Structure 1
Amino acid sequence: MFHTKRAYWRKLDNAAKIFPATSGKRDTRVFRFYCELHQDVIPEALQKALDTTIEKYPVFLSVLRKGFFWYYLEESSIRPVVKQESKPPCSDLYIHDKKSLLFDVTYYKKRINFEVFHALTDGTGATQFIRELVKNYLIEAHASDGLTDEPLTDSSITVQDLEDDSFSKYYSPNSKKKTRKVKAFQLHGPGTRDGELQITEATLSVKDVLSKAREYNVSITVYLTAVFLCAIHEEMNRFQEHKPVALMVPLNLRKFFPSDSMLNFFGWIEPYYRFGPGHSSFGDVVQEVKQYFSNELTKDQVAVRMNELMGLERNPILRILPLEIKNFGMKLGARFSGKDVTAVFSNMSVVSMPGQYIPYIKRFGVFTSTPTMELCMCSFQDQLALTFTSRFESRNIERNFFRILKEHGIASEFPEPDFPPRQKERLVGKRFFQWFTFGSIAAAVITVMINMIVTPHLYWSLFAVAGAFSMWLALAVAFFKRRNLLKNSLWQLFIITIGCVIWDLCTGWNGWSVDYVLPGMCVLILASMITITFVQRLKPKDYMVYYVINAIYGLVPVILLLAGAATVRYPSVICSGICLLSLAGLVIFNGRDFFSELGKKFHI
């Protein structure tokens, strides 16, 4: 009744802005929710379930695009396809210059896996999605059992509610500033082989953990936070105890500010404990953590951090900085803020399902990619699923954690790792580029050696080195921008023309670089972009900006001609005329797409 169309494109919410800038091989910013069933997954039924689920949550049909000032999410016609799990858990989902969905649904034996890039949603949104997916799967796979479609959410929620930017909705500029934090103890040690993610899963009884937590008059989250702090402390030496052990604990802001958004809407607190030279009992730790939670988990205190981050985003000076500068700043900020915490503890809370579906489900679980160490938790029925992810070879902290629980009378079960055998990646292109890089360096070194031995009074090897570097740079751009041929073409245009200008200057300036190369390359690249557009059947939104940039760059030759820097008239005039006509054609025949694309790319 209240269903309405989703937005064609939308800005990233406040929390999501940092994820594209800081994602990489060491931390993909991907997290996984999974559901383990009592029977093997039927792929065909899972595909039908996914198709049904995505109709309810079309917000997930988005690709991440790069603007001049910010990233943004754009509606996509790409349809998700269920696959058997083959890649390592939490592998890259956001790949630069590749238009792909930011989530993945896979299966392996009895497990349904839902992985998502954090810029798209948070733990609450992911929980809603996998609950709906599992429900739809069970209805498809067990149709003969008479399962009915029981709603999991309020049917009056619209697509606009799901896409609501709650950070902007609840932002208040009149908020007190956060106090300065103390730098925390940092985890160190040998990393895992190839930097792979080390995963340790365990299940506990919710009743057992809750019973122990009540002995200390605290919640399960406070109790396990204290256990985690003590487990880390056991790996510290006396000289390291001058720094506190601090955990980042994400918070679901929907508990403080009403929201049905599927976008990111979370904050965090950073409980800590300073273990001094004297003995600190577990009771001391848990009571101090309890006091910290009590002080910080108020609406006013939670709003402080949210408003502080929103204030940075809305700073007029920062807003107009180009995206690449923002990315550099966000990477630095993430690195420095990472020194405020030792590890992360994420509680995804209770996963509930209607009674008719419960007999088919064994458990739910969750874990995430991390550059250091993170503990994730969720519960289903009486099963409390805990998963450690780590980039360290040592598992001492995990061992300490579960030993403390055992000493408290809480038994832990460790299910066998249920992941497919890791397949060796095919790195043919990467290997070729490595050999080409080595060959370019070898050619440059050998040339310099011959120059120094045979003709030491001449410096001809400098030209050979410059030539080798130019070839390497052109191939490097072609390799790293291979997923987007239009962007690749623009990079080649800039590199070749600027390189030729530098070469012209270094050889006494004859003007050939601006008289012939610059206008010739502009026309050639424009022709190649038109060819790529027709061959790949690209839509206006996919090629518009690249055409505009090429057209503007193509006006440079006539400007240089008018300024007297270029001396040959006809190449510059022809080039600028063609580029001006291409720009006029874009505006006249695709004006709506032209201004729409400019609005997306240049939103601040």
Structure 2
Amino acid sequence: MSKKKARWRKLDNAAKLYSAASNKKDTRVFRFYCELKEEVNPDVLQEALNQTIEIFPTFLMVLRKGLFWHYLEPCNLQPIVKEEYKEPCSRLYIKDKKTLLFEVTYYKKRINFEAFHVLTDGTGATEFLKELVKNYLYLIHKENGLEPVSLLPEDMTVQDQEADSFLKYYSKDQKRPKKRKLHAFQIRRKKKDGNHLHVHESVVSVQAVLNRSRELGVSMTIFLTALFMMAINEEMSKMQKKKPVVLMVPVNLRKFFPSLSMLNFFHWIEPGYNFTTQDQSFEAILKYTKEFFETELTKEKMSAHISELLALELHPILRLAPLELKNLCIQTGAKYSEKNTTAIFSNMSAVKMHASYVPYIERFGVYTNTPKFELCLCSFQDKLSFAFTSRYDTVNIERNFYRLLKEQGIASEKVKPEFPKTDEPSEQEMKVYKIYSFLCIAIVAAMLVAECNSHPRVRWTLFTAGGVVTMWITSSIGFFKRYNLLKNAMWQLFIGTIICFIWDALTGWHSWSVDLVLPIMSVSTLTAMFVIAKVRKSPVREYLIYEIMAAGYGLILPVTLLLCKVVKNPTVSMFGSLICFLFLVAVILFKGREFKEEMQKNLHV
């Protein structure tokens, strides 16, 4: 395989949705894991990971924000293997924090690979984990005669890995489907122990499921989809049955369109069944599901869906909408679209390893963190691993599903996932901030009460209240932007000067805010950014955009105020503007290539 460093890249269509819709609880993180027949050696696993990441350089990315879209950029961060230490599928992407979008952990005999869906999809994650497990087992057992093997095409390049297959197969002439979606039954019964992710796993025989599916004349996925809908229906009340049970079933588009991409390249179909108006027999449900799959799973339909997905993204007007506005619209759309499905059923298919490595592996498994009740499955050899994940009380649905399997002659064996005892993520910082905010509110309220009762000649109570509000605003910016010091400095400059303008106006407008504060803060912020970048040894691409913003702010605003004759004493403003101007000139002369690249990243539409 050609070894080439990955370059910055735009997000694929699915990644743009995930980057906007994810949050602390809806993390859009999924886990693929491999259960070995021996305890994991962390030092060897780290060496195996180092080898694996050389083959998949497209995974060494951080998510950054542009004016119109997020984008992925290569970084010098190196993944470090850790013993499992937090809830499965916890958040990997934290806004403004420079972190990798995947993580490798271990616990006893299990190797976990977790990824933020912006980075890759199930196919990409499977290939990464397979390569990681292969490298690990070879390093551990090469002295026992285990031979190195290749799992990936020899001619695969980095360009193949980072190709956006959505764009490759998009056609604006393709007719897009127009189908009105009905609101589906929603599972809403919360767990008593809080909003934690619950994982329940079982294992069945692949051959048993295949044999029964073939007897019925359907595929394994169709057979299990029908059973899943029936299991949900059994827990619905008569009133709830007025709405259909609708499943979201992801489809790997690589089965229809050739692609070696490690990016997201999937769509989904939504089989639904109304158990009030349609025949409730297993035979009728299976027949309907089979016909639905045969109708929807065609190359023409998938091509139409690709066109539907990209048509909105590529709209010339919508592309120019600011990122924050896009994010708000995507989040609203995601919440609305959740009403169209009841649950998710994701079949990741069979995981295949070279025959010489099979004796060392117990099984593979997969599950994910979504706002919906989800059933994920994958197989290895004759072990089909089921994993139900949810933040709702869904134990009865799982029980119904396995009972229905048993009625079809398929026995299941429960597997209790082994997780280490982990502490809850620390909330101490947020508690301190809330206490601090409460004290600030109390002081401001006390000052206002004092003002109403005492009416002092010097309005010291109002000045005190204003000072506390100012302190709270600036410290809050520092708290919430603490992961990115350069962005923090830019926000402090922007908000700080506005607060000074307000104070100047409220105290009779003596022009000190524009004569002194604005130019001094601009130059000071520019200097602080430069020092921070040098101390942290940050690459040029990470600090250049913030310094350009600070210099532009320190040049354009003072010059505008000078021309409008708002500034009474122009000396400091002129010198401040001159420094910012010279900085921008220096950037163009000495960092022109980096400047052009940063503008291209941040302004791409």
TM range (shorter): over 0.9
Instruction: Using the TM superposition, give the Cα deviation of residue 256 of structure 1 relative to its aligned residue in structure 2, in angstroms.
Output: 0.4
Equivalent position SS for 1:554: helix
* Alignment deviations for residues 377-409 of structure 1 (CA, whole Å, 9 cap, x no partner): 100111000101101144222222122222222
Paired residue type of 2:141: H
Partner amino acid for 2:544?
M
CA distance in 1 between counterparts of 2:153 and 2:520 reads 61
User: Considering only aligned residues, what root-mean-square deviation do their CA atoms show, in Å?
Assistant: 1.8
- 1:465-480 correspondence runs (5 A): 465-480=465-480
Say if 1:192 and 1:391, in contact at 8 Å, map to a contact too.
no
Alpha-carbon distance between aligned partners in 2 of 1:183 and 1:192, rounded to the nearest angstrom: 27
What is the SS of the residue equivalent to 1:379?
Answer: strand
Compute the displacement of 1:506 (Å): 3.4
1:81-160 matches, within 5 Å, as 81-160=80-159
Aligned pairs for 1:347-358 (under 5 A) are: 347-358=347-358
Q: Any conservation in 1 of the 2:200–2:416 contact (CA below 8 Å)? A: no
What is the distance in 2 between the residues matched to 1:106 and 1:548?
Answer: 39
1:457-512 superposed Cα distances (whole Å, 9 cap, x missing partner): 99875554433222212111101111111100000011111122223333443322
CA deviation map 1:287-338 (0-9, x unaligned): 1111111100000111111111111111101111111111111111111111
Contact 1:352 1:380 in 2 (8 A): yes
How much has 1:278 moved relative to structure 2?
7.3
- Give the structure 1 partner of residue 585 of structure 2: 584
SS in 1 for 2:431: helix
Query: Counterpart in 1 of 2:562?
Result: 561
Which position in structure 2 is the counterpart of 1:414?
Answer: 414
Taking the aligned partners of 1:553 and 1:421, their CA distance within structure 2 comes to 50
Quote the residue 2:316 is aligned against.
316
* Partner Cα separation in structure 1 for residue 133 and residue 534 of structure 2: 41
**1:161 aligned residue:** 160
In the TM superposition, residue 129 of structure 1 has moved relative to its aligned partner by 0.7
Give me the whole-angstrom Cα distance separating, in 2, the residues matched to 1:109 and 1:7: 33
Which SS does the other structure have where 1:127 is aligned?
helix
| Partner in structure 2 of residue 404 of structure 1 | 404
Q: Which residue identity lines up with residue 144 of structure 2 in the other structure?
A: D
Counterpart residue identity of residue 206, structure 1:
V
Alignment check: 8 A CA contact 1:198 1:389 kept: yes
Partner Cα distance (1:4, 1:39) in 2: 32
Q: Distance in 1 between matches of 2:176 and 2:183?
A: 18
Aligned equivalents of 1:379 and 1:214: distance in 2?
A: 17
Bigger CA drift: 153-162 or 290-299? 153-162
Q: Distance in 2 between matches of 1:596 and 1:7?
A: 15
Please give the alpha-carbon distance, in whole angstroms, between the structure 2 residues aligned to 1:458 and 1:543: 45
Q: Which residue of 2 aligns with 1:216?
A: 216
Q: For 1:352-397, what per-residue CA distance to the aligned partner results, in whole angstroms no more than 9, with x for missing partners?
A: 1111111110000000011131111100111000101101144222
In structure 1, what is the equivalent of residue 525 of structure 2? Answer: 525
Q: Do 1:245 and 1:341's aligned partners in 2 also have CA atoms closer than 8 Å?
A: yes
Three-state SS of the structure 2 residue aligned to 1:148 is coil
Q: Quick one: distance in 2 between partners of 1:279 and 1:287? A: 11
Contact 1:164 1:261 in 2 (8 A): yes
TM score, norm. by length of structure 1: 0.97
Q: Given the alignment of the two structures, is residue 285 of structure 1 paired with residue 289 of structure 2, yes or no?
A: no
Question: What is the rounded CA distance, in whole Å, between the counterparts of 1:348 and 1:213 in structure 2?
Answer: 17
Distance 2:596 2:297 in 1: 45
- How far 1:454 sits from its partner (Å)? 3.8
State the shift of 1:183 in Å: 1.5
Alpha carbons of 1:129 and 1:457: their partners in 2 closer, same or farther (altered >3 Å)? same
1:539 is aligned with what amino acid? P
Number of the residue aligned with 2:594: 593
Check whether the contact 2:451–2:462 (CA below 8 A) recurs between aligned residues.
no
Q: CA deviation digits over 1:140-167, x for unaligned, max 9?
A: 1112221111111210111111111111
After TM superposition, list the pairs within 5 Å mapping 1:171-250 onto structure 2.
Answer: 171-178=170-177, 179-191=179-191, 193-250=193-250
Gaps of at least 5 residues in structure 1 are none
C-alpha distance in 1, partners of 2:9/2:192? 38
Do the aligned residues in 1 keep the contact of 2:52 with 2:135 (CA within 8 Å)? yes
Counterpart-to-counterpart distance in 2, 1:362 and 1:4: 32
Letter in 1 for 2:92: L
**Residues 438 and 191 of structure 1: is their aligned pair in 2 closer, same or farther, counting only changes over 3 Å?**
farther
Aligned length: 603
CA spacing shift, 1:263–1:229, aligned 2, 3 Å = same
| Structure 2 CA distance for aligned equivalents of residues 458 and 346 of structure 1 | 69
1:55 corresponding residue in structure 2: 54
Shift of 1:563: 1.0
Q: Name the TM-score, length of structure 2 as normaliser.
A: 0.96
Q: Please tell me whether the aligned partners of residues 241 and 277 of structure 1 are also in contact (alpha carbons under 8 angstroms).
A: no
- What CA distance in whole angstroms lies between the structure 2 residues aligned with 1:463 and 1:236? 60
Name the SS of the counterpart of 1:195 in structure 2: coil
Preserved CA contact (<8 Å) 1:4 1:160:
no
Deviates more, 1:459-468 or 1:591-600: 459-468
AA of the residue aligned to 1:133: L
Q: What is the CA distance between 1:24 and its match in structure 2? A: 0.9
Residue-by-residue CA offset, 1:236-285 (whole Å, 9 max, x unaligned): 21112221111111110000000011111111111110111676112221
Shift, 1:180, TM fit: 1.8
Aligned residue number for residue 22 of structure 1? 21
5+ unaligned residues in a row in structure 2: which ranges?
Answer: none
Map of 1:38 onto structure 2: 37
For 1:457 and 1:391, the matched residues in 2 are separated by 59
Q: Is structure 2 residue 345 aligned with structure 1 residue 359?
A: no
Task: Check whether the contact 1:238–1:277 (CA below 8 A) recurs between aligned residues.
Answer: no
Deviations 1:71-95 (A, max 9, x none): 1111112111111111111111111
SS for the counterpart of 1:225 is: helix
Alpha-carbon distance between aligned partners in 2 of 1:330 and 1:265, rounded to the nearest angstrom: 19
Instruction: Between 196-205 and 435-444, report the one with greater CA deviation.
Output: 435-444
CA distance in 1, matches of 2:315, 2:440: 45
Is the Cα–Cα contact under 8 Å of residues 216 and 283 in structure 1 kept in the other structure? no
Alpha carbons 1:98, 1:484 under 8 Å: kept: yes
Residue 572 of structure 2 is aligned to residue 571 of structure 1: yes
**Could you tell me how far 1:193 is from its partner in structure 2?**
3.2
- In the superposition, relative to structure 1, how do residues 360 and 289 fare at CA in structure 2: closer, same or farther (>3 Å)? same
Taking the aligned partners of 2:163 and 2:242, their CA distance within structure 1 comes to 44
Q: CA deviation at 1:35?
A: 0.3
Q: Matched residues in 2 for 1:199 and 1:187: separation?
A: 16
Q: Matched residues in 2 for 1:372 and 1:170: separation?
A: 29
Distance (whole Å) between structure 1 residues aligned to residue 279 and residue 131 of structure 2: 49
Asked if residue 73 in structure 1 is aligned to residue 41 in structure 2, the reply is no
Q: State the identity as a percent.
A: 51
1:238 match: secondary structure: coil
Distance between the aligned counterparts of 2:336 and 2:364, measured in 1? 34
In 1, the alpha carbon distance for the partners of 2:541 and 2:119 equals 21
2:249 and 2:345 in contact (8 A); partners too: yes
Per mean C-alpha deviation after superposition, the further-off stretch among 342-351 and 420-429 is 420-429
Deviates more, 1:11-20 or 1:449-458: 449-458
* 8 A contact 1:366–1:378 mirrored in 2: yes
Partner of 2:342: 342
Distance 2:541 2:326 in 1: 24
Distance 1:560 1:278 in 2: 71
Query: Where does 1:322-333 land on structure 2 (aligned, <5 Å)?
Result: 322-333=322-333
Cross-structure match for 2:273: 273
What is the alpha-carbon distance in structure 2 between the residues aligned to residue 192 and residue 532 of structure 1?
46
Q: Give, in whole Å, the separation in 2 of the partners of 1:451 and 1:560.
A: 35
The letter of the residue matching 1:10 is R
Amino acid at match of 2:123: T
SS in 2 for 1:95: coil
Separation in structure 1 between the aligned mates of residue 459 and residue 81 of structure 2, nearest angstrom: 60
How far the C-alpha of 1:426 sits from its partner, in A, is: 3.1
